[in-house]
Amino acid sequence: MKKWLSILVLAMLVFSLAACGQKDEKKSEGKKESTPKTDEVFKIGAIPDQNAADLDKGMTATAKYLSEKTGLKVEFVPSVDYSALVTAFQRGEIHMAWFGGLTSVQARNLVPDAESIVQRPRDAEFHSVFITQANSNITKLADLKGKSFTFGSESSTSGHLMPRYYLTEAGINPDRDFDGKPNYSGSHDATYKLVESGAFKAGALNEAVWQAAVKEGKVDGNKVKVFYTTPAYYDYNWTINSNVEEVFGKGTKKKVKDALLSITSEQTDIANLFQTDQFVETKNANYKKIEKVARDLKIIK
C-alpha cells in the first residue's frame, strides 16, 4: 500500500512540475511576442520635392540626429516620387515621413491611426508663389489665360493643389484655359528652371524653396519674378506611423517627437534643408482645409 501511495505522490509531483513548466513556457512566449524589435531600423522618408542631393544631405543629417537623441537606429530612405512614399508609409515600411499637407492627408487616410506631430512655424501659414519671366506682362492670375503653365508634382500641396484651388477661385480652369494642358515638372526646383528657361510662361511652387533659390543664387532674378502669392494655409509636417509603438516599444512616438522639437539652428544641415531653426507641435485637425480642397477638386475621392 505504501509503495503504491509513493508512486501516486511521485506521479502527481511530476505532473505538477510539467504543468508549471508549460505555464512558464507560455508566459515566456507571451513576453517574447510583446517585446519590441529593438534591432529594427526606424526608417524616415521625405517627399522628393527639390534637388535630390540637397534632400539626401539634409535628411541623412536628420536621421543621424534622431539616432543620437533617441537611441534608435534611424535611416533615411529616398523615394522616387510622392506616391511611392505614401505607399511605403501605408505598408509600414516607412515609420515617419516629411509630407506636404496633401500627402499627409492621403497617408493618414490609408493609415487611420497615423499622426501629424511636428511642423515648422511657417507651415501654419504657408504660401505658394506664382512666377513668370521678368519681362512678362503677366501681373495677376487672370492674365494666365492662354499662357503655357507648369505645376510641380501632381501630389504637391504648394506646387499643385493650392495653386489649382486659387486659379479656380480666380475663374481659371487649368485644364481648359491655358495654352495646352498644364505641365507637371515633378519638383519645385524644376518648376522655376522651366520658367527661367522660357519653356513655360508661368508656374507655381513652394514659397520656401523659391526664397532659398533666390538667396543661394540658384535662380536668376533678372529673368524670373513672383507676380502672385497665395493666402496662407497649413502645409508640411512630420507624420508618424501607427506601427512605431508596436515595433519599437511604448514611448517611441514621444521620444521621436521630443527629438524633433529639440532641433535648432546649430544643426546646420537640417536647418538649411528645412529653412527653419525650430520645429513646433501640430495635429491632424490642422489639415482639414487641405483635405476639403482635395475632395472638392476630386484629387482625393
Total count of domains within the chain: 2
* Torsions phi, psi for 55 (to 5 deg): -65, -45
Query: Does residue 33 sit within a domain?
Result: no
Asked if 47 and 64 sit in the same domain, the reply is yes
Residue 39 pLDDT: 80
Residue 11 pLDDT: 45
> Average pLDDT, stretch 203-227?
95
Write down the mean pLDDT value for the chain: 90
| Residues 120-138: tens digit of each pLDDT | 999 999 999 999 999 999 9
Residue 283 pLDDT: 97
How far, in Å, CA of 216 to CA of 198, rounded?
Answer: 21
For residues 290 and 21, which has the higher predicted lDDT (pLDDT)?
290
Strand order in the sheet with 128-133: 183-184, 149-151, 202-206, 128-133, 224-229
Asked if 247 and 216 sit in the same domain, the reply is no
Query: Does residue 2 sit within a domain?
Result: no
User: Is the pLDDT confidence value at 5 over 70?
Assistant: no
For residues 299 and 9, which has the higher predicted lDDT (pLDDT)?
299
User: Is the pLDDT confidence value at 301 over 90?
Assistant: no
> Average pLDDT, stretch 20-28?
44
User: Is the pLDDT confidence value at 157 over 50?
Assistant: yes
HSE, CB side, 13 Å, CA atoms: give it for residue 174.
Answer: 22
By the 8 A CB rule, do 71 and 213 touch? no
**High-pLDDT (> 90) share of the chain, %:** 85
Query: Does residue 246 sit within a domain?
Result: yes
For residues 10 and 245, which has the higher predicted lDDT (pLDDT)?
245
Asked if 273 and 151 sit in the same domain, the reply is no
Residue 176 pLDDT: 96
| Sequence-distant (≥ 6) Cβ neighbours of residue 30 within 8 angstroms | none
Asked if 132 and 220 sit in the same domain, the reply is yes
Q: How confident is the model at residue 27 (pLDDT cuts 50, 70, 90)?
A: very low
Residue 101 pLDDT: 96
Asked if 93 and 171 sit in the same domain, the reply is no
Asked if 75 and 118 sit in the same domain, the reply is yes
Domain finish residue from 163, 195, 229: 229
Q: How confident is the model at residue 38 (pLDDT cuts 50, 70, 90)?
A: low
Q: Which domain holds residue 176?
A: 127-229
Asked if 145 and 222 sit in the same domain, the reply is yes
Q: For residue 144, give the CATH number of its domain.
A: 3.40.190.10
| Sequence-distant (≥ 6) Cβ neighbours of residue 167 within 8 angstroms | 141, 144, 173, 174
Asked if 133 and 220 sit in the same domain, the reply is yes
Query: Does residue 65 sit within a domain?
Result: yes
* Torsions phi, psi for 30 (to 5 deg): -60, -45
Query: Does residue 243 sit within a domain?
Result: yes
For residues 7 and 246, which has the higher predicted lDDT (pLDDT)?
246
**High-pLDDT (> 70) share of the chain, %:** 87
Asked if 88 and 132 sit in the same domain, the reply is no
Asked if 120 and 245 sit in the same domain, the reply is yes
